[in-house]
A and B are shown apart, each in its own frame.
Chain A
Amino acid sequence: EVQLVQSGAEVKKPGESLKISCKGSGYSFTSYWIGWVRQMPGKGLEWMGIIYPGDSDTRYSPSFQGQVTISADKSISTAYLQWSSLKASDTAMYYCARHYGAGYYMDVWGKGTTVTVSS
């Protein structure tokens, strides 16, 4: 079974750093792009960026460029999303998803990681 398993919920303070993960299984992890999507409370879906684990080619939405870092460790089939200094406005659900083909639609989704940033 193809699946993406995301790390658990996080509660952090403003200014702290954070790295959340997304582990793929049941398919060739290095052959598909992995994307990250933000959903703020009660809001819609926002595409943040994408990484190709095969060579770590990474692209960002201009809205998120410089705000987060996307990375991957292909040896353990895991993609990451990280922040160096969290803000309250980073409070959201974060989904990873597999992009079919050359970065096309998202056909497999993780269950999401809730990030809460509060003092």
Chain B
Amino acid sequence: EIVMTQSPATLSVSPGERATLSCRASQSVSSNLAWYQQKPGQAPRLLIYGASTRATGIPARFSGSGSGTEFTLTISSLQSEDFAVYYCQQYNNWPPQTFGQGTKVEIK
């Protein structure tokens, strides 16, 4: 099973600032990595797939990069609606597909 590790666990950022979230895989997942956003009381929402492709309707301030074992999600200028928990997920080797433990982006 591939283990996904996200850092940091919590990121405190002021509105308008840049946020950088990291995700590491225990072995290569190529570019088969997705990022999801989850707000309290809501289902997760797909943000990024293929490590760097924005899903339909996702604003350009969200960008993903990386391949192999190291990945990054960047939010270029945080808006109030972006404060949420973010998960990475690998779908390269399954079952099982695996998620990271999440990074909570909170208001500083």
Contacts and interface: CB of A to CB of B under 8 A. Distances in A.
Contacts of B18: none
B96 A63 contact: yes
A1 to B, nearest CB: 12
9 pairs of A and B residues whose beta carbons are closest in the complex: A61-B96, A105-B34, A109-B43, A105-B49, A45-B99, A59-B95, A47-B97, A44-B102, A44-B101
A95 B91 CA distance: 17
Contacts of A53: none
A100 B87 contact: no
Interface of B: 1, 32, 34, 36, 38, 42-46, 49, 55, 87, 89, 91, 94-102
Of the candidates B55, B94, B95, the one having the most CB atoms from chain A within 10 angstroms of its own CB is: B95
A90 interface: no
B105 to A, nearest CB: 15
Contacts, number: 70
B46 A105 contact: yes
Contacts of A99: 91
A111 B94 contact: no
A55 interface: no
Nearest to A49: B95
B43 A62 contact: no
A112 B42 CA distance: 8
Contacts of B102: 44-45
Contact of B46 (A62, A95, A107): A107
Given A44-B99, A61-B96, A111 B43 contact: yes
Interface in A18-33: none
Contacts of B32: 104
